Amino acid sequence: MAISMDQVKELRERTGAGILDCKNVLNETSGDMDEAIRILREKGMAAAAKKADRTAADGRVDVYIHPGNKVATLIEVNCETDFVAKTDDFQKLVYDLAMHVTAARPLYVNREDVPAEELERERDILRQQNADSGKPANIVEKIVEGRIEKYYSEVVLMEQDFVKNPSVKIKDLIKEAIAKLGENIVVNRFTRYEIGG
């Protein structure tokens, strides 16, 4: 089956992948657009993982102010070069992340940022709640660890579901941006402000 330039162009617009990559994967999938997108995303995620160790020393600070001016978020997102920092895709990502923080109220950027004493306090509360359940200690510990995972998804930005697309976690949204833009991207910090909060 011959692949048309329109198909290549559509795939490129939908994924941000290079023209040659789009053409090759369309040939590989006999023109199946959905399968081609899946393959390119997998390749992009693998490429993003390789970029994770690179230094992200440039970037952008942005602010999202929710209508009504009662809540806002200031966020710093880093990338490797000012070239990428100035792209529309990067600026949109930073804005979306600021909006997400405003809506979802995370407390930390990464799991590692959650203080150990806070995690232990949360585990103690969960153990206490299950103390009288009559379940064996090893089962109670599995329940506690399962609830700790849920706790992470509530308070850690990278573990949260993206408010604009709950089927995508923030960490995966960033990996997709890394794959598309070709540079490491890191959320450095954020501050959420709320009237009376």
User: What's the pLDDT score for residue 44?
Assistant: 64
Contact by Cβ (8 Å): 140, 130? yes
Q: What is each CA distance from 110 to 115, 142, 155, 190, in whole angstroms?
A: 11, 22, 9, 12
User: What's the pLDDT score for residue 47?
Assistant: 55
**Which residues does 102 contact at the CB level (< 8 Å), separation at least 6?**
64, 66, 71, 72, 73, 192
User: What's the pLDDT score for residue 128?
Assistant: 84
Scanning the structure block, which residue is given the tokens 């994770």? Answer: 52
151 belongs to a structural domain: yes
Distance CA 108, CA 136 (A): 33
Domain CATH for 177:
3.30.479.20
**Exposure b/e, 19-48, CB count within 10 A at least 16 = b:** eebbbbbbeebeeeeeebbebbbeebeeeb
**Which residues does 65 contact at the CB level (< 8 Å), separation at least 6?**
71, 72
- Both 72 and 42 in a single domain? no
User: What's the pLDDT score for residue 108?
Assistant: 97
User: What's the pLDDT score for residue 191?
Assistant: 96
127: containing domain: 115-155
29 belongs to a structural domain: yes
- Both 100 and 66 in a single domain? yes
Nearest to 64 by CA among 90, 100, 106: 100
User: What's the pLDDT score for residue 10?
Assistant: 82
Domain count, the chain: 3
Contact by Cβ (8 Å): 108, 157? yes
Per-residue pLDDT for the chain (197 aa), expressed as one digit of tens each?
678 888 888 877 776 666 777 888 888 888 888 888 778 777 765 555 555 566 666 889 999 999 999 999 999 999 988 899 999 999 999 999 999 999 999 999 999 999 999 999 998 888 888 777 778 878 888 888 889 999 999 999 999 999 999 999 999 999 889 888 888 899 999 999 999 86
